Amino acid sequence: MQPIWYPSPNFGPRRGGLTPSLIVIHYTGMRGAPDALARLCDPAAEVSAHYVIGTDGQLWQLVAEEMRAWHAGAGAWCGMGDINSRSIGIELVNSGAQPFPEPQMQRLETLLRAVMARYAIPVSQVIGHSDMAPERKEDPGPRFDWQRLARQGLGLWPEGLADERPLAQSCAEIGFPQAAPDKLLQAFRFRFYATGQGPETVQDRRRAAAVAAGFRASQRR
C-alpha cells in the first residue's frame, strides 16, 4: 500500500550528512487521525513525523525520508544525540490509553520491514520515544506490543533471564540515556516488562541483563 502524501512544512535537512540509522515509534496522544495530522502539519506546532498510521491501517507520509522530521526532540540513544537527524519517525494514532488495533500493527510491520531493509537498520535500533527520552516521554507506552515485533524480526526482546546485575548498567549497554532511577525503570518496563509493578526487582535486573546480552549479539551480526 502506497502512503497518502500529506506534506508537513515542519522539516529540514539532516545535519552532518547523517542518514537514517534508527526508527522511533510514537503514539500521537490524540483521539483521531484528523487531529494528529492537523497538529503535525501546523507550522506553529513545530512538530512532524515521516509517517502516521491510523487505527484502520491507513498510512500517511508527511516528510520525505531523506529529510529531517521534527519528531524526537531532546534525547539520546547509544550515546548519540540529534536523533531527528539519525532517524525515521513513525506516529501511531492512539491516545495512549487504548490497545493498538490489528490493522494498525500490520501496517506498522510492513512499513518497518521496508524501512529497515532500505537503510540496513538492525532490530536493536528500532526504539520507542520513551527509550531515547525517559525523563520526559512515555510513548508508545505499556500497551504497545514490542514482543510481537520481535517475533517477526522487527525488534529486540529478551530471551529468558540472565544473571542479576545493576539495572542502570544493563540499560546503558542497551542504549538508554542516563535518567533518574524511577524514570529509567519506567522506560525499561514500558519497553521490555510492561507487567512490572512497584519498586525495582530482581526480575527487572535479570531481564535487563538478558536484553543487554541480546543487544550485544545483535551488534555482532
Can you tell me which residue has the cell 513545530? 46
Domain boundary pick from 111, 142, 157: 157
Q: What is the pLDDT of residue 217?
A: 78
Which 3 state secondary structure label does DSSP give 57?
A: coil
What's the pLDDT band for 12 if we cut at 50, 70, 90?
Answer: very high
Whether residue 21 is found in the same domain as residue 66: yes
Grid cell in block for residue 215: 543487544
Catalytic residue among 46, 91, 102, 135: 91
For 39-58, write each residue's pLDDT tens digit: 999 999 999 999 999 999 99
Task: Note whether 117 and 178 are within 8 A (CB).
Answer: no
Average pLDDT over residues 152-167: 95
State whether 126 and 84 are in the same domain.
yes
CA separation for the pair 128, 174 (Å, rounded): 13
Are 80 and 74 within 8 A, CB to CB?
no
Residues 93, 68 share a domain:
yes
User: Is the omega angle on the peptide bond into residue 140 within 30 degrees of 0, that is, cis?
Assistant: yes
| Span 59-117, pLDDT tens digits | 999 999 999 999 999 999 999 999 999 999 999 999 999 999 999 999 999 999 999 99
Of 105, 137, 157, which closes a domain?
157
User: Does residue 109 have an active-site annotation?
Assistant: no
Whether 110 and 150 share a structural domain: yes
pLDDT band at 216 (very low <50, low <70, confident <90, very high): confident
Q: Could you tell me if 79 and 121 lie in one domain?
A: yes
Q: Residue 198: which residues within 8 A CB-CB, separation 6 or more?
A: none
Determine the 3-state secondary structure of 27 from DSSP. strand
The total domain count for the chain is: 2
Whether 67 and 148 share a structural domain: yes
CB 216 within 8 A of CB 123: no
What's the whole-model pTM score?
0.97
Pair (152, 112) in one structural domain: yes
Task: State which of 101, 131, 157 marks the end of a domain.
Answer: 157
What CATH number should be reported for the domain holding residue 64? 3.40.80.10
Residues 152 and 163 grouped into a single domain: no
Q: Which domain does 176 fall in, by range? A: 159-221
For residue 141, the one-letter residue type is G
For residues 174 and 194, what is the distance between their CA atoms, to the nearest angstrom?
A: 17
- Say if residue 107 is in the same domain as residue 34: yes
Query: In this model, does residue 138 exceed pLDDT 60?
Result: yes
**9 vs 19: CA distance, rounded Å:** 20
Query: With 90 as the cut, is the pLDDT of residue 221 above it?
Result: no
Task: Specify the DSSP element, H or E, that contains 73.
Answer: none
Instruction: Give residue 220's pLDDT.
Output: 58
User: Does residue 200 contact residue 167 with C-beta atoms inside 8 Å?
Assistant: yes
